[in-house]
Amino acid sequence: MKSQVYFIPADRKESPESLSEKARRAYLAIGLNEKLGENDFLALKIHFGEKHNTGYLKPLWLKGLIGEVEKKTPRAFLTDSNTLYIGHRSNSVDHIRLAWSHGFTPDVVDVPVIIADGLIGRDVQDLKGSHARIKSARIGSAFLNSDALLCLTHVTGHVQIGIGAAIKNMGMGCASRAGKLDQHSVVHPHVSPKQCHNCGICPDYCPEDAIVQAEGHVLIDDKKCVGCGECLVVCKFGAIKMRWDDDSQRLQEKLAEYALTVQSHFKGKVGFINFLIQITKDCDCMARAQRPIVGDIGILASSDPVAVDKAPVDLVIARSAGKDVFRAGYERDWSVQLSYGSKIGLGTMEYRLVELG
């Protein structure tokens, strides 16, 4: 059976009020609002954009749909999890301040910003996995303590998986730091002796006593390390590094499995809105302004994350005269996350595009 994907043309040259109204209509079309109970906690999953990035979703675009949500429940909140890499989004204090600087303040959006995995990414719960790649998914606790989830996603290209859209926003974006490490790497972090100050902080944070102080620097015992990522964020000198897994297929399959565990947790009270506006080669983690790779297209909405990610690919390729601009960016086969997601029950690539009048 084909999934419904609702579409409304949109362009960033329109007024914020116009884009807000279009996003509101797209949101109402998927029916999630009708499922919200009085006083439900609704996690509005978003990427606030890295410092100096300009492609992130603008807060004024979301006022209309947030207004509809608030008619149902006063307990909605904007949220993301902390990053695995060290930067302006690797702890909650800096992360919230960055969100404020991009306009996500209560006087603008009328809902609070809560970072889902706590101050430094340790507020985590595990969900049991049921497929080949993961045994358990490590998810930020605020997501799992919520009653419903709405993923608000800026569709972009991506250096490792070809395209970053709803599946990535839910699978990677809801994961804690340990969950991100689990998806990105099959090996444990390592120490750069030249950068290590042997300050003794990381051994205190290691839950497995896998870090020991040697002469001049610390060492990580691979036999004890469980890949939680604690040491990555507490190191103030950038001496602890992760080994990025270059196997895009494995990463995309893990991503889909993480997304499925999150989706299953909400038992149908989940929705997805994809913004095809200022579509860039790289994701919004890049700390710089980026030029679009194609003209603005519009807003898509669905209750099916696979369908709502397949539709933008088709629309972008059609707009690009048949050229796959996502694959051309980094020679990554973006279709893995979609086909594997379809295989494991995350959604379907078969969809019917319904244009909202």
CA 113 to chain centre: 15
**In the CATH scheme, what architecture does the domain 188-241 have?**
2-Layer Sandwich (3.30)
Task: Select the CATH number that applies to the domain covering 3-182+247-355 from these four: 3.90.850.10, 3.40.30.10, 3.20.19.10, 3.40.50.11440.
Answer: 3.40.50.11440
- pTM (two decimals): 0.89
* pLDDT for position 40: 98
Give CA angle at 331 (327, 336), nearest 5°. 70
* pLDDT for position 280: 96
Dist CA 68 CA 60 (whole Å)? 14
pLDDT 10s digit of each residue in the chain, 357 long? 899 999 999 999 999 999 999 999 999 999 999 999 999 999 999 999 999 999 999 999 999 999 999 999 999 999 999 998 778 998 999 999 999 999 999 999 999 999 999 998 889 999 988 788 988 999 999 999 999 999 999 999 999 999 999 999 999 999 998 899 889 877 678 899 999 999 999 999 898 899 999 989 999 998 898 777 778 878 889 899 877 777 899 999 999 999 999 999 999 999 999 999 999 999 999 999 999 999 999 999 999 999 999 999 999 999 999 999 999 888 899 999 999 999 999 999 999 999 997
pLDDT in tens, 283-329: 999 999 999 999 999 999 999 999 999 999 999 999 999 999 999 88
SS3 state of residue 152: strand
Domain residues of the chain, as ranges? Answer: 3-182+247-355, 188-241
Q: Are 209 and 224 in contact (CB under 8 A)?
A: yes
Distances (CA, A) of 63 to 31, 57, 100, 115, 341: 18, 12, 15, 20, 31
Counted residue by residue, the chain has a size of 357
Q: Are 327 and 157 in contact (CB under 8 A)?
A: no
Q: Are 186 and 180 in contact (CB under 8 A)?
A: no
Helices 248-265 and 335-344: crossing angle, nearest 10°? 40
- The total of other beta-carbon atoms located within 10 Å of residue 107's CB is 6
Question: Which residue type sits at 17?
Answer: E
CA dihedral sign, ordered 301, 302, 305, 311: negative
